[in-house]
Amino acid sequence: MQKKILGIFFLILFVSISFLLYKLLNQKIEIKEDFAKVESPTKIIPPQEPKETVWIKEMAHKDSREFIFPVNELFMQIDLQGGDGGKVKSFRLVIDRADRYSLFCIVQTLSSMRLSYVVIKEDKTPIVFVQEKNLKALDRVVQELEKYDIKSKIIEVFL
């Protein structure tokens, strides 16, 4: 009888452990899955250019021989009278071409070397006068302009 009771006890124990394991292994577990949506980056549309900046494009297509000061009125005062009342010795920079790029390079070079200069437009070619007494500085200007493929020379003039 003890064997029957022990057998029933093991059977009940086996059934209860099996039932417990069945319940543990077959539980419905709620899993919330969130997936990030992959979106392609939106194309950034550049803002339309206002009409005020359209003048840059117009200037790019202008004839290179036409040079206009970007002001309505230009006032210059140049003292060409020497101390003795005679003519002032100055130097003229003669260039092989007079397009906008060349003028820009010339003006930037003269400004960076801190030389006094005047640009005068006569007909289609501008004339550049440099007021400097040091000939070495003037030779340096010619050498600097050669870096930009601008052939130039210095001529002594009296104004």
Q: Is residue 26 part of a domain?
A: no
Instruction: Provide the residue type at 38 as one letter.
Output: V
Q: What is the pLDDT of residue 25?
A: 80
Lowest mean pLDDT among 12-16, 37-41, 58-62, 64-68: 64-68
Domain membership of residue 148 (yes or no) is yes
Domain span holding position 132: 66-158
In-domain check, residue 46 = no
Q: Mean pLDDT over all residues of the chain?
A: 78
Residue 35, domain member (yes or no) = no
Q: Which residues pair with residue 131 across a beta bridge?
A: 116
For the stretch 99-147, pLDDT in tens is: 888 888 888 888 888 888 888 877 777 888 888 878 888 889 999 889 8
How far apart CA 85 and CA 77 sit, in angstroms, is: 17
- For position 78, which CATH number holds? 3.30.70.120
Q: With respect to residue 144, please indicate whether it lies within any of the assigned structural domains.
A: yes
pLDDT higher than 80, residue 58: no
pLDDT for residue 50: 62
Q: Give the separation between CA 70 and CA 92, rounded to whole angstroms.
A: 24
Residue 43 is assigned to a structural domain of this protein = no
